[in-house]
Structure 1
Amino acid sequence: MQHIPRSPEAIAADRARYEDHQRKGLDFAPRALPAPSPRPAPDPDPGRLLAEETIPGGWYWTTRLAAGETLRILSGGLGGSVSLAAWSAADPAERMNLPDTVKVQWTTELRKGRVILSDMGRVLLSITEDSSGAHDALTGGAPATEPGTPRARNTRDNMVLAAAKLGLDKRDLHALLTLFAPVRVDEGGRFFWNGALLSGDDWAELRAEQDLMLALSNNRHPLDPAGGPVPAIRALHLAAVPVAADDPCRTASAEAIRAFQNTIRA
C-alpha cells in the first residue's frame, strides 16, 4: 500500500485538537501538584523502617510491598538511574503500563503527586515524595555499567533475572520507568538529557496502592553523557501510615480520582 504523506495543515489541525483536549483535562484538575521534596531526604521514622538494601551499580534487586507500604529510593550520587518494574502480587498479569500512565495524566513528567497505573486502569503506585521530577517514562533501560565486564549487566539482563526471582519470565516484562533520568523532548521531537534537573542527593518515595512485586535495576542511562562508575543506591522499605483524605496523589486530578475508584472496586 502506498503511503500518502499528510499535509502540514492536517498535522497542525490534529495537533491543535490534541492540545485543546489536553488543556481541558488539565484545567479540570481539582488540585495543584505539591512542590518538590527537599534535599537531602530526612531520616525516616525508625519505627517505620522494615528493611534496607544497597544496590551496587550494574545490579538489580527485587522486593514485595503490601498495600500502603512505601519504598524510598535514594540516588547516592550522579551517574546512576534506577529502572523500575511493577506487578500486582495477586495477579502478575496486571502490570505497570506507562503509556496509559502518561496518557491518562496528560504528561510524561511523573513527579510528586502523580500516580503509576496498571494495564487494568488501577493505581499501582503513588509518587508521594520526589526531589527532582526528573524521571524517564519514554526511552527504557540502560546499557551495561562496564562494557565487556562479565559482572556488569544491562537493564534488560537484570530485569530478566529479577523476573525469574519473582516467579515470572521475560514475557512478563513491560516498559520500564527510570528514576533519576532527566530525559526531555526538544521542539524537533528528539530526546535529550537535561542534567541540570538532577542533584547528587535526589530521592523519591513510592507508596504501594495494592500488594505488589517490584524489580529495580541500577545502571547508567543510555542518554547520560557522564562517565565513570555508577554509584550504589539505597532502597528503604517503610511501613504503612494512615493516608489523609486530601492526599495529593488521590485528589490531584480527575483521572487519578477515577483510577483510585477502580482500585477500590477491584
Structure 2
Amino acid sequence: MIIESPLQAEQAMRRDTVLAGDYYMQIVKAGQTLRILDIEGNQAADTLFYNAHDPSERYSAIDTIREQGNVYLTAGTKLLSNDGNLMLEITADTCGRHDTLGGACSTESNTVRYAIEKKCMHACRDSWLLAVAENPQFGLNKGDITHNINFFMNVPVSAEGGLSFADGISGAGKYVELTAAMDVVVLLSNCPQLNNPCNAYNPTPVEMIVWDKA
C-alpha cells in the first residue's frame, strides 16, 4: 500500500548516509520516526530491530506474519517482537512492499547459491557481525543475529510456497517510514550483493533519517 509521508527531511533531528556494504547501528526512541530512503533505487536494506533495554526481545518475522496474515510488509504493518509486543509500525511507504522471508546474504549462502569463488565476497551477515563487535555498548553478540527484514527487496512467493529473487520494485527516492513504539536498536546492513538482482547488481547508498516525536 502506497502512503506518502508529510515529514520534511530538513526538519529531521538526524540524517546519516550508509554506503553499500556498510552498517548502521543506532537507537530510535519510542515516538520517533525513522525513514529509510532508497537514494538511487533498487537497493536492498537488510534490517534487524531489538528492544534497546533488553536485546533478547527482537523483531520476529514469525509473529509479524502470523498476526497480519501477509508475508509482505507495507504501510500499516505492525512489526512485532518475539514476545508479541509492538516494536514499530510502518506509517509511510512509497515502494509498496518489503520482504521478510528471504533472509540475509552470507559467505555461506554466496557459496551455495552462486559459486565457491563467491564465498569471500562481502555479505550482510559480515556487516552485522562487524557492527556488533564495534558497538559492545548495545549488548549484542553474533547469537543475536536472527531473521530480518529486507526493505525494498523483491522476493516473490510462488503458489507452491517457493521463493525467488527478482528485479527490485523500488526506485530512486522511494522510502519506507517506521514509527517506534518502544526504544529500539536499529541494525541495518546496506546490502553489497552483486550476484542477484536485489539491487540491480549495483549496490548504492541509503539514507537514514530520524524525526523526533511530533
TM-score range, shorter chain: 0.7 to 0.9
Query: What are the superposed Cα offsets for residues 42-63 of structure 1, whole Å, 9 maximum, x if unpaired?
Result: 761644x111100011111111
After TM superposition, the structure 1 = structure 2 runs for residues 56-205 of structure 1, keeping only pairs within 5 Å, are: 56-142=19-105, 153-164=122-133, 165=135, 166-195=138-167, 197-205=169-177
Q: What amino acid is aligned across from residue 69 of structure 1 in structure 2?
A: Q
Aligned length: 202
Q: Calculate the TM-score normalised by the size of structure 1.
A: 0.68
How far, CA to CA, are the matches of 1:168 and 1:70 in structure 2?
Answer: 23
2:209 to 217, 223, 236: 236
Unaligned runs of 5+ in 1: 1-34, 242-266
Q: Which has the higher strand share?
A: 2
Query: Which gives a bigger RCO, structure 1 or 2 (Cα 8 Å, sep 6+)?
Result: 2
Q: Calculate the TM-score normalised by the size of structure 2.
A: 0.84
Unaligned runs of 5+ in 2: 111-116
How far, CA to CA, are the matches of 1:225 and 1:64 in structure 2?
Answer: 27
How far, CA to CA, are the matches of 2:94 and 2:83 in structure 1?
Answer: 29
CA radius of gyration, larger in: 1
Identity within the alignment, %: 26
Q: What amino acid is aligned across from residue 52 of structure 1 in structure 2?
A: R
How far, CA to CA, are the matches of 1:133 and 1:170 in structure 2?
Answer: 31
Query: What are the superposed Cα offsets for residues 15-68 of structure 1, whole Å, 9 maximum, x if unpaired?
Result: xxxxxxxxxxxxxxxxxxxx4024xx7761644x11110001111111101100
Query: What are the superposed Cα offsets for residues 112-134 of structure 1, whole Å, 9 maximum, x if unpaired?
Result: 01111001110111000111233
How far, CA to CA, are the matches of 2:200 and 2:37 in structure 1?
Answer: 20
**Local SS of the residue matching 1:157:** helix
**Local SS of the residue matching 2:197:** coil
Contact 1:66 1:212 in 2 (8 A): yes
